[in-house]
A and B are shown apart, each in its own frame.
Chain A
Amino acid sequence: MKPVESVGAAARPAGMSDTAVTGTPHLMEGYNFAYLDEQTKRMVRRSILKAVAIPGHQVPFGSREMPLAYGWGTGGIQVTASILGPDDVLKVIDQGADDTTNAVSIRRLFERTAGVATTDHTEDATIIQTRHRVPEKPLRERQILVYQVPIPEPLRFVEPRELETRRLHALNEYDLMHLKLYEDIAKHGHIATTYDYPVLVHGRYLMSPSPIPKFDNPKMHRNPALQLFGAGREKRIYAVPPYTEVRSLDFEDHPFEIQHWEQQCEICGSGESFLDEVILDDHGRRMFVCSDTDYCRTRRDTAAAGQAAASPRRAAPEEA
């Protein structure tokens, strides 16, 4: 941890929540701290430092074999393993949820190999590894968000040649990306790209934000937290340092817009979060719920506490 960011030492709260594991309960024998060997971690940290120094630029690194398949977050795990310290508090989410397979297995890997504390609470975590979402609760300084990235090259689908995409990055020629957005509008009447929406970082490098919904793009802009991106199969690391400008590409007369829902979350009543549509039965019944489980639970708990204190009626959900 020390060479990269001195995060975490002070951050662990005393009474951790339900899932928190404290101390070193059952560390696995024969594994180095946080699974990776120290030499590998040094190599990964060097790439991270370079990535932080050149915001949005893809830095190659010697990606290792991990105990799970490519596409399951091998890049994110290697980044997390390299920056994790014994005092860190880790949160892992998959599509916003703490309790899905991918999140559970990655969290368990680090519980067993590093013995670090884990949490569901966004505000308690010092490192958050994520697949496809940025948490709804605003992040703060000294937190690190680690994204799992399947395809780090934003130009890949418009230019298949790696040599050529590197040249385009080097020469700052990104009009191909606008060509894709132009085609979107010509075909659909609006920019139909909804996730992995390309961004320009610090006015220089075109970057894939990983397959987060474009709803989350504005959260990347001038975020106080450090954002790291790891692509295991493609062997690339890139970064957005705290408070860096992240602009989503658009046209002057078709400005960037995020998704909106007519519905509100049926569990917590939020009209401001990213909603998942859940099919309930074979008769077409469905419900909309927050994709961020921690955000949703916190709102529900707060509302319940407020209700218990004040009126027995449920508070009116706020306007969308």
Chain B
Amino acid sequence: MSAAAPLLSARGVSKHYGVHTGCEDVSLDIWPGEVVGIVGESGSGKTTLLNCLSTRLVPTSGEIEYQRRDGQSVNLFRLTEGERRLLARTEWGVVHQNPHQGLRMNVSAGANVAERLMAVGMRHYGRLREEAGHWMGRVELDAGRMDESPETFSGGMLQRLQIARNLAIGPRLLFMDEPTGGLDVSVQARLLDLLRTLVQDLGVAALLVTHDLGVARLLAQRLVVMKDGRVIESGLTDQVLDDPQQPYTQLLVASVLPV
């Protein structure tokens, strides 16, 4: 896929919850293969924006264009619900902060990966197992535990299982909401390392929401800073973090505790 056009292009996206503002007039491009980070303090509208872009929330106003695998450009909210869901399950992945939201805890680990493949029409049990084993291996999970319940997995393992499940269909765009939140630092570091390798190897684009500037620096090539629902600064990650222009971004960068 040539990078002549952005994969996803949002223009003037706003989401209001009654009188409250989720996000306001956000415009944003994600290009094929790049990782865009959204940072900002809690309540700044990061997750609302991510949910709007991944069509899990309907924005109050604004347009979102998406370049499909077949090269056709579609306006996400002019598609029917069925077409939107088809697009989401064939081209996207969503990694939640809480793996319980992104996994089915009452079926086996292997079934969690296989489900995404069955959703795109794979109906061969042997091949489903093979694929599930392969992707569990890619995220450094023991494929021998494929038939075990995710209830027996640790937090870090659950997060990796969630990533495996999302990668199985060969997505073009990953939405990640605080993928390392709630994990201890050594587990975080390994997960970040893994994510970085996978994103690079597979050339998948990603939108990463995080409040952790360290995570953003490690994974994202471009950074968007949000405050009170608006984008206040954006640019290359190193640029934004090393030479923040806005007072709020300066505060954010200065607030990171040195180790």
Contact = CB atoms under 8 A, between A and B. Distances in A.
A175 B115 contact: yes
Contacts of B147: 186-187
Interface string A150-182: 000000000000000000001111011011001
B108 A183 contact: yes
Interface string B114-132: 1100110001111010000
B53 to A, nearest CB: 21
Q: How extensive is the interface on chain B, given as a class?
A: 10 to 19
Interface string A235-265: 0000000000000000111100000000000
B107 interface: yes
A4 interface: no
A84 to B, nearest CB: 40
A185 interface: yes
Contacts of B163: none
Interface string A172-204: 110110110011011100000000000000000
A253 B124 contact: yes
Given A173-B85, A175-B115, A175-B118, A186 B123 contact: no
Contacts of A185: 125
B71 interface: no
22 contacts: A171-B85, A173-B85, A175-B119, A176-B115, A178-B118, A179-B104, A179-B107, A179-B114, A179-B118, A182-B111, A182-B115, A182-B118, A182-B128, A183-B107, A186-B110, A186-B111, A186-B146, A187-B147, A251-B124, A251-B125, A252-B123, A253-B126
Interface of A: 170-173, 175-176, 178-179, 182-183, 185-187, 251-254
Interface of B: 81-82, 85, 104, 107-108, 110-111, 114-115, 118-119, 123-126, 128, 146-147
